[in-house]
Structure formats: C-alpha cells, structure tokens
C-alpha cells in the first residue's frame, strides 16, 4: 500500500462522523482569530490601485470575523509604492492601513526589497547612480511613512538562491552592492522606524536543508554584528505531502532557538501539483485538513508564545489563489471555497491551534 493511499484511507476513516464533513458551513465555528494566541492573517490582493478596497466588500465580513492581521498580496511591493525615482505612491496602501486600523487589525508590510522582475520598478532596473543611497532612501521613505501603521516588515524577500542554496541569489541588488545590501536594508529600516519588527522572508527553507543552513548562517552573522533583524518569515507554500512535517519542525525550531520571532508568512497547501484531480473530493479535502492541522500544531509546539509573529494565509478564497494563475489545472489551496464556505482545511487549522 502506497504512503499516499494509506493516508487517504486513514483520512476517509477518520473523517467519517466528523461534523464538519457533513455540514461544513452550518457548523458554528469559533473564529480563527479567537482560537489563536497570536496574529492570524490573510493576504488581500488589494492596494494595487487607489479605490480598489471596494473589491473586498463582498468578503469583508469573512475577513473581519476570522482574521486580526492583513498583508497586501501585491499592493505594497516596490513598483506600487515607488513607481518613479522621485515619486512614492502611498494612496492605495494607505487605504489598506485605514482598513486595518478601523477593524483593529495588524498590518504587515510586504516587501521592501524584492528582486522579482515584475515587481521591480522599471526606473530602478536602469538606475545608474549611488545604489546604496538609493536603496536606503527607498527603505526609509516607506518605513517612515508607515511608522505606527505597519507593525512589521518583510525587509528583504527571497535573497537566497533557490537552485544553488549555498549562495545568495544573483539579483540586481547583489550585482550592485554585494550581499551587504541585505544588512543595509535592515539597518535603514530600523533607523526609520525603530518600533517595527523586521523580518527576512523566504521559501523552501524547510524543504532544503542547505537553504535553511545558509539562512541560519546569515542570521548568526547578523546577530554577532548586531544587525537589527528580528524575525524570519517562512512562506510555507507547501503541498499536501511535502516537505515532511519533521523538516518543518526542524526549521521552525532552529530559528526559535536563536531567540528570533517566527512567522509562517504565506501559508497555502496545494493539492494538485501532480495534476491528477479534477475536483476537490472529500478524501483530498481531509488530507488537506490533516496537513493544515499538523503545520499549525508544529508552529504552536516549536515556537514559544513570545516569539510567535503569527500565521498568515496567502489568500482567502480558493479561486483567488496565486497557485491558479495561468494554470490549466485546478487547485484548492486555501481554507475557504469560492463561495466563502469553510472547508475541512479550516477545521484542521482550528484543531492545530488547540494542540
């Protein structure tokens, strides 16, 4: 019997008689945010253009009921906030900050420095002047503007090479400044907003031991030299059966042991990487539930209360997940279906929070 088949069988047997598998949407559930002793967040694909907060009107009730922390899935990336060398455009992000304030939510900022071609402002790609001064100004203008509104920042995102994880990623920033751009960004952010909690954010650090080690070496070096890095964000775009939960725990514990804050910053659980499923059948949904449960439970068990920066889900409804972008096959990675009904995954999170 294959591991996957055994898991499916187990999930099916286990799910039989569980109230939420019979009537998911009618079971009164305790809200996620009320069940956790740490921030429970969701990424919202708003803040990309002024006025687009209106887009979330239909899902606002769900967001407000379940979450106490939000992050812009895209709208606070470099090219949105800093579209021209002398122009910062804060209007849309300010609307998001207002939303957070009005609803008593934390706003996490994502991301001050990210190499991704699509998010890099065109002017920056062609910049010929003093790169250190320019990046410092970029970071400081943004941090100063949002001081008191943004509680924590992803200061640098995805700086480690994913294919060759024993080195930094070959980005424009590395080319211009060497690895020093990373610590320079943290120092600049801390100067501009000393109260902000500053994170390094990346993916696959739980699935690739050498990537984890490279990140830890960077952290150790920063701690020795008192660079103001306060936490690590594990994006945690995982699939239902990989990486192993033991690897996830090892990674979380290694950061926690260094006294840093730990966030699970972009959690989703894809179900269909093998492109075998045409629909979300109950067995698959139960597998996903068990997976969410074990990840949340691993977080609670591995990170002390004072070090928990929280868990943020990378989207609200399945249909809005980035994992579906341009894909010819379906997936159902999040906690709520396309109509905003709770999936078994949601109850997996609730159970994990109790452990």
Residues 6 or more apart in contact with residue 324 via CB below 8 angstroms: 318, 330, 331
Three-state secondary structure string covering 197-221 = EEEEEECCCCCCHHHHHHHHHHHHH
Interface with ligand 9MR, residue 73, by CB under 6 A: yes
Output DSSP code: residue 28. Answer: -
Residue list 307-326, contact with ligand 9MR (CB under 6 A): 322
With CB under 6 A, what is the number of residues at the site for ligand 9MR?
Answer: 9
Tell me whether residue 183 is one of the annotated catalytic residues: no
Active site residue 266: yes
Residue numbers 232-261 binding ligand 9MR by CB under 6 A: 235
- Nearer Cβ to ligand 9MR (157/184): 157
Q: Which residues of 144-156 are buried (b: 16+ CB within 10 A; e: fewer)?
A: ebbeebbbbbbbb
Binder among 183, 266, 318, 331 for ligand 9MR (CB under 6 A): 266
**Helix, strand or coil for residue 280?**
coil
- List the one residue from 8, 18, 74, 253 that touches ligand 9MR (CB under 6 A): 74
Strand partners, 109: 153
Closer residue to ligand 9MR in complex, CB, 18/119: 119
State the Cα–Cα distance between residues 85 and 83, nearest whole angstrom: 7
Q: Which of 22, 30, 101, 116 binds ligand 9MR (CB under 6 A)?
A: 116
207 binds ligand 9MR (CB under 6 A): no
Is residue 268 a contact residue for ligand 9MR (CB under 6 A)? no
> Could you tell me where the DSSP H helices lie in 16-130?
19-22, 32-35, 60-66, 78-81, 91-102, 122-125
Q: Is 3 in the site for ligand 9MR (CB under 6 A)?
A: no
| Catalytic residue numbers, as ranges | 158, 266
Footprint of ligand 9MR (CB under 6 A): 73-74, 116, 118-119, 157, 235, 266, 322
């Amino acid at each position: 019997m294959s591991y996957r088949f055994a898991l499916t069988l187990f999930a099916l047997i286990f799910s039989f008689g569980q109230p939420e598998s019979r009537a998911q949407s009618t079971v009164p559930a305790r809200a996620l945010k009320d069940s956790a002793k740490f921030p429970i967040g969701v990424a919202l694909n708003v803040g990309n253009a002024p006025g687009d907060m209106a887009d979330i009107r239909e899902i606002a009730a769900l967001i407000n009921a379940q979450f106490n922390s939000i992050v812009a899935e895209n709208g606070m990336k470099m090219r949105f906030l800093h579209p021209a060398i002398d122009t910062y455009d804060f209007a849309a992000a300010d609307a998001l900050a207002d939303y957070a304030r009005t609803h008593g939510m934390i706003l996490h900022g994502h991301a001050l420095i990210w190499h991704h071609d699509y998010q890099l402002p065109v002017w920056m790609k062609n910049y010929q002047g003093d790169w250190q001064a320019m990046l410092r100004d970029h970071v400081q203008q943004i941090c100063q503007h949002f001081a008191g509104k943004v509680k924590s920042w992803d200061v640098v995102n995805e700086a480690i090479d994913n294919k060759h994880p024993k080195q930094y990623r070959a980005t424009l920033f590395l080319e211009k400044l060497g690895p020093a751009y990373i610590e320079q960004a943290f120092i600049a952010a801390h100067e501009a907003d000393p109260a902000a909690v500053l994170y390094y954010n990346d993916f696959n650090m739980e699935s690739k031991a050498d990537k984890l080690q490279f990140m830890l070496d960077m952290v150790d070096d920063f701690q020795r030299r008192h660079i103001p890095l306060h936490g690590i964000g594990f994006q945690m775009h995982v699939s239902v059966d990989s990486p192993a939960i033991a690897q996830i725990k090892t990674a979380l514990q290694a950061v926690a042991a260094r006294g840093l804050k730990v966030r699970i910053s972009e959690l989703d659980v894809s179900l269909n990487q093998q492109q075998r499923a045409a629909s979300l059948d109950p067995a698959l949904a139960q597998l996903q539930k068990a997976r969410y449960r074990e990840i949340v439970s691993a977080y609670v068990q591995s990170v002390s209360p004072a070090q928990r920066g929280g868990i943020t889900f990378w989207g609200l409804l399945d249909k809005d997940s980035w994992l579906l972008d341009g894909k010819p096959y379906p997936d159902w990675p999040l906690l709520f279906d396309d109509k905003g009904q709770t999936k078994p995954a949601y109850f997996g999170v609730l159970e994990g929070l109790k452990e």
